A and B are shown apart, each in its own frame.
Chain A
């Protein structure tokens, strides 16, 4: 038979543009959210996190926005560079769940020079 694979959502941007990667989370009781970057052949690398008592947090060139009303999380990357090309994962956690993260399926970001 024929196998069917799941394809990651892909975001393609021009170098220098801003990127926005979106994530819908599932559990309204989740109180901690985190973004990871995964480059080919590497493990996930922590980018930024946010707790549910905040709606925005900024890092170096990255901003995470949290909208608890619609259970939506976004990662904004300013002045996207070729080195930002990777798969980006969001993850959520309920503090009562012994720190087990619930992972999204990822978004592939391609930066065109």
Chain B
């Protein structure tokens, strides 16, 4: 039962390099999310995709782009990495049920360091 799978688990980049973080879910969820987590700051939403074919900015979108490749996959791209983007990145997915919310399910994260 894989759930949400993120690759890679760890990455070190130099300032200015580009990188795509991959995320796939096998729960047939409609909605997918990218967060970053920094010490003492909780989880901050970067981008989300409410359904296949749509993406929207979250709280901290600057410096990132996303692609909802299909219903399963949602990738996050750093075009020109900066040290301020050193963080742990989490992907999550959820599926609306009726008129209510449903919990988001998370991957185990990508630990990214920008030198």
A interface residues (Cβ-Cβ under 8 A, vs B)? 5-8, 31-32, 34, 36, 41-46, 49, 51, 89, 93, 95, 98-101, 103-106
A55 to B39, CA, bound (A): 32
A43 with B100, Cβ < 8 A, contacts A100-B45, A104-B42 known? no
Residue among B41, B58, B99, B108 making CB contact with A100, cutoff 8 Å: B58
Q: Is A6 within 8 A of B43, CB to CB?
A: no
**B contact residues around A6 at 8 Å (CB):** 39-41
Residue among A5, A41, A45, A103 making CB contact with B42, cutoff 8 Å: A103
Count of B interface residues, CB-CB < 8 Å: 27
B interface residues (Cβ-Cβ under 8 A, vs A)? 4, 31, 39-45, 48, 50, 56, 58, 90, 92, 94, 96, 99-101, 103-109
- Which residue of A is nearest B104, CB measured? A101
**A contact residues around B105 at 8 Å (CB):** 46
**A contact residues around B109 at 8 Å (CB):** 41-43
- Best-buried of A8, A49, A98, A99 by chain B (most CB within 10 Å): A99
- Which residue of A is nearest B59, CB measured? A100
- Which residue of A is nearest B94, CB measured? A99
Q: Is B56 within 8 A of A5, CB to CB?
A: no
A103 to B41, CA, bound (A): 9
Q: Is A42 within 8 A of B43, CB to CB?
A: no
A99 with B42, Cβ < 8 A, contacts A43-B109, A46-B103, A46-B105 known? no
16 contacts between A and B (CB under 8 A): A6-B41, A42-B108, A43-B90, A43-B109, A46-B105, A51-B100, A89-B42, A89-B43, A93-B101, A98-B50, A98-B56, A99-B48, A100-B45, A100-B58, A104-B42, A105-B42
Min CB gap A89→B, angstroms: 7
**A contact residues around B43 at 8 Å (CB):** 44, 89, 101, 103
A8 to B38, CA, bound (A): 12
Min CB gap B52→A, angstroms: 15
